[in-house]
Amino acid sequence: QNNAKVAVLGASGGIGQPLSLLLKNSPLVSRLSLYDIAHTPGVAADLSHIETRANVKGFLGPEQLPECLKGCDVVTMDSLKYCTGYVLGMTRDDLFNTNASIVATLTSACAKHCPEAMICIISNPVNSTIPITSEVFKKHGVYNPNRIFGVTTLDIVRANTFVAELKGLDPARVSVPVIGGHAGKTIIPLISQCTPKVDFPQDQLEKLTGRIQEAGTEVVKAKAGAGSATLSMAYAGARFVFSLVDAMNGKEGVIECAFKNGIEKNLGIGKISPFEEKMVAEAMSELKASIKKGEEFAKNFK
């Protein structure tokens, strides 16, 4: 059943290109539709020469978007208006107005042309772009919360890597669940639930948690004005899509953390530590405000 039809919206960007490459490299994908407002014919021609079975097609500009989306099983969205995310010191909130309208426009097209597809939103601020997507789907009468995901996999990938580094473990065998949202203090790594079990003194635990929460800034600083995390994000996005497709193909026991609409308390993760409980309590007001901001935006969006 390896026949997933996947669309990448924002396919020519820093994340979009390596993400498309990883998807093209997967035997799970049979059709790869690349959409952007620039450069997709080139990106698609380039990828189409790779000797894997996924059929690649590029779609350029809003008039080609419906064709791109029709029949898709999975849509990933990593679009952003050119350059706005790159300025050091800019917060995810600064990106809000630019990205909110792009996400609302693209998700309206998804609601119309592939209402049954799994929608994976990478575009920031994820804590608000998920409520926007959910409201847009509600407006079109096709809302299903089980099909809309905020991709926070990079937080999990970073947590696994950093824990493995500190403990001298193989990162591929470390699994840290990360709950909450995808911005600063709303990112809540549950180190107490790590597999294998790991222990840190409190000061090291706090430092590690802070590093996971601010890891995006580490990359922005190191790239010195030339962008934010793109390669590790492409890896994380692809990992999420592959897990999703595996689950859609009936594989059991596939677990991925993601940001879903609404605030739910029972996460089925087990008993978390008092330090983690405190982080959850502290994140609530910011999360609620970001969700509200997204919902209000979507209500007024025409």
The residues annotated as belonging to the active site are 182
The angle, 0 to 180 degrees and rounded to 10, between the axes of the packed helices 231-248 and 153-167 is 110
User: Distances from the Cα of 172 to the Cαs of 22, 77, 159, 162, in angstroms?
Assistant: 18, 26, 12, 12
Which C-beta is closer to ligand NAD: that of 107 or that of 228? 228
Q: Binding residues for ligand NAD, per CB under 6 A?
A: 9-10, 12-16, 36-38, 78-82, 85, 95, 99, 102, 106, 122-124, 126, 151, 154, 182, 227-230, 233
Q: Is 37 annotated as a binding residue?
A: no
Residue 83 region by backbone torsions, left for phi larger than 0, else alpha for psi between -120 and 50, else beta: left
Please check whether residue 77 is in contact with residue 130, taking contact to mean a CB–CB distance below 8 angstroms: no
Closer to ligand NAD by CB, 12 or 26: give it.
Answer: 12
- The answer to whether 94 is annotated as binding is no
- Min dist CB 190 to ligand NAD, Å, is 18
For residue 128, the minimal CB distance to ligand NAD (Å) is 11
Chain centroid to Cα 234, Å, comes to 9
Q: Output 45 or 249, the one with its CB closest to ligand NAD.
A: 45
Reading the block at residue 283, the tokens are 């994140």
Q: From the CB of 274, what's the least distance to ligand NAD, in Å?
A: 28
Nearest CB to ligand NAD, comparing residues 12 and 261: 12
**Looking at the DSSP assignment, which residues form a beta bridge with residue 7?**
33, 75
- Does the annotation place 233 within a ligand binding site? yes
Between CA 23 and CA 6 the distance in angstroms is 8
Can you name the residues that pair with 189 across neighbouring β-strands? Answer: 178
Q: CB of residue 155 vs ligand NAD: minimum separation in angstroms?
A: 7
User: Does residue 141 have a known ligand-binding role?
Assistant: no
State the binding site for NAD(+). 10-16, 36, 99, 122-124, 233
